[in-house]
């Protein structure tokens, strides 16, 4: 078996169907298996697979244990020489998987290969980023990256990013550079990660103590410690149907993100970093809480009130960690 494609599913039946169809329509000249690791969906995803895609292996997990948990369940039974972790909200474009397979065969030192991710309109999407740092998390929670909405500032930052910006920001800015080539990076976005079997044998699977978010960052850092590299490969492309920006914040995913952030820093950098990160989160979300609360007071848009509640509950969660 050349490639085992593992797709984690949780109530994304229609997206899952489109994803599998795209794999079958674009992947030839390879022996591959598709494993869907279903986290106890309630939308009859499993029934759809059994009816429409009988050749797909469906793991019906006994609980929703999170992204890493479900991927590890698939890895446990995978037979492929390579493991391709793939989100259900993706569409595979022509020869994507085959091209990655050939490149990995020719470059034995690479541990994980990541394709170029595209939005639905085929514009570039974030495909790589750097290991988290205190500066990066501060910039994220205070939404400093919004300055990139200004075309002039964005052009200036891109031109001089190699000179005066810290590495974590420079790595992120790679996503906006034109004519990108194959290059070694720190972290690949977890929506699509093409992993060599030897990496799994050497390092193991993902850390399932993360429920959602940061598990791919942790994994990329872990394989680097074992001497493997992550490489961005722009000659394979995937459409990633990531949720469009919205004023409404998802309660579960928002709390999970910040819980995972604290866990990541404590695990990889110790308790001092953990408490600094907690202080950054509480300060940043307090600012967001007040901002959206007053926006709600002025225009009565319930999405701002909803956001304020989520920020408040997240602050409570962070305070008890």
Look up tokens 């200004």; give the residue. Answer: 150
| 80/208 same-domain check | yes
| 221/289 same-domain check | no
| 309/200 same-domain check | no
| 225/258 same-domain check | no
pLDDT value, residue 58: 96
pLDDT value, residue 298: 87
| 123/234 same-domain check | yes
Query: Of 225, 320, 235, which is closest to residue 282 (Cα–Cα)?
Result: 320
Task: Give a yes or no: residue 227 inside a domain.
Answer: yes
- 52-56 — which CB contacts under 8 Å span 24+ positions? 52/17, 53/20, 56/20
**Structural tokens at position 87:** 């989100």
| 208/315 same-domain check | no
| 52/114 same-domain check | yes
| 85/106 same-domain check | yes
pLDDT value, residue 175: 60
Q: Which domain holds residue 277?
A: 251-320
- Block means of pLDDT (10 residues each) for the chain, length 321 residues? 96 94 96 96 92 95 94 98 97 97 97 96 91 88 70 62 59 60 94 98 96 96 97 96 54 92 97 97 95 88 89 95 83
Evaluate whether 302 touches 311 at the Cβ level (below 8 Å). Answer: no
| 25/107 same-domain check | yes
Q: What CATH number is attached to the domain comprising 229?
A: 3.90.550.10
| 117/263 same-domain check | no
Task: Give a yes or no: residue 152 inside a domain.
Answer: no
Choose one of 209, 240, 271: the last residue of a domain.
240
Task: Give a yes or no: residue 49 inside a domain.
Answer: yes
3-state secondary structure of 242: coil
Evaluate whether 71 touches 57 at the Cβ level (below 8 Å). Answer: no
> Using the 8-state DSSP alphabet, how is residue 174 labeled?
G
Give the Cα separation of 108 and 297 in Å (integer).
Answer: 58
Using one digit for the tens of pLDDT, what is the confidence trace for 6-47?
999 999 999 999 999 999 999 999 999 999 999 999 999 999
Query: Could you write out the DSSP letters of every residue in 284-307?
Result: HHHHHHHHHHHHHHHH--HHHHHH
**Structural tokens at position 203:** 């390092």
Evaluate whether 84 touches 193 at the Cβ level (below 8 Å). Answer: yes
Ramachandran angles phi, psi of 192, nearest 5° = -155, 105
Task: Give a yes or no: residue 106 inside a domain.
Answer: yes
| 42/183 same-domain check | yes
Evaluate whether 310 touches 249 at the Cβ level (below 8 Å). Answer: yes
Q: How far is CA 313 from CA 34, 112, 256, 282, 309, in A?
A: 39, 36, 12, 11, 6
Evaluate whether 221 touches 170 at the Cβ level (below 8 Å). Answer: no
Ramachandran angles phi, psi of 194, nearest 5° = -100, 105
> What is the DSSP pairing of strand 57-60 with strand 110-118?
unpaired
Looking at the structure of the chain, the number of domains it has is 2
Task: Give a yes or no: residue 91 inside a domain.
Answer: yes
pLDDT value, residue 245: 30
Choose one of 205, 240, 275: the last residue of a domain.
240
Task: Give a yes or no: residue 148 inside a domain.
Answer: no
Choose one of 213, 240, 267: the last residue of a domain.
240
| 35/172 same-domain check | yes
Task: Give a yes or no: residue 160 inside a domain.
Answer: no
Task: Give a yes or no: residue 150 inside a domain.
Answer: no
């Amino acid at each position: 078996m050349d490639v085992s494609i593992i797709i984690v599913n949780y109530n994304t039946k229609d997206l899952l169907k489109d994803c599998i169809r795209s794999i079958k329509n674009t992947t030839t000249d390879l022996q591959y298996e598709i494993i869907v690791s279903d986290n106890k969906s309630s939308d009859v995803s499993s029934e759809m697979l059994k009816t429409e895609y009988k050749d797909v292996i469906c793991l019906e997990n006994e609980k929703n244990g999170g992204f890493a948990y479900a991927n590890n369940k698939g890895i446990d039974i995978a037979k492929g020489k390579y493991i391709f972790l793939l989100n259900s909200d993706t569409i595979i474009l022509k020869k994507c998987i085959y091209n990655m397979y050939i490149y990995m065969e020719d470059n034995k030192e690479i541990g994980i290969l990541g394709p170029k991710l595209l939005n639905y309109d085929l514009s570039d999407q974030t495909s790589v980023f750097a290991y988290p740092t205190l500066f990066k998390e501060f910039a994220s929670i205070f939404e400093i990256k919004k300055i990139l909405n200004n075309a002039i500032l964005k052009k200036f930052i891109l031109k001089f990013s190699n000179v005066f910006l810290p590495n974590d920001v420079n790595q992120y800015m790679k996503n906006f550079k034109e004519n990108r080539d194959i290059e070694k990076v720190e972290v690949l976005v977890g929506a699509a990660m093409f992993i060599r079997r030897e990496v799994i044998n050497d390092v193991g699977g993902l850390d399932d103590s993360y429920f959602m978010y940061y598990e791919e960052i942790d994994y990329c850092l872990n394989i680097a410690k074992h001497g493997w590299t992550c490489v961005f490969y722009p000659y394979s492309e995937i459409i990633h149907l990531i949720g469009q920006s919205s004023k409404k914040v998802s309660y579960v995913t928002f709390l999970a993100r910040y819980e995972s952030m604290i866990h990541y820093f404590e695990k990889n950098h110790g308790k001092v970093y953990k408490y600094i990160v907690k202080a950054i989160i509480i300060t940043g979300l307090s600012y967001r809480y007040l901002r959206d609360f007053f926006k709600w007071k002025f225009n009565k848009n319930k999405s701002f009130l909803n956001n304020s509640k989520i920020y408040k509950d997240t602050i409570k969660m962070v305070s008890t960690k």
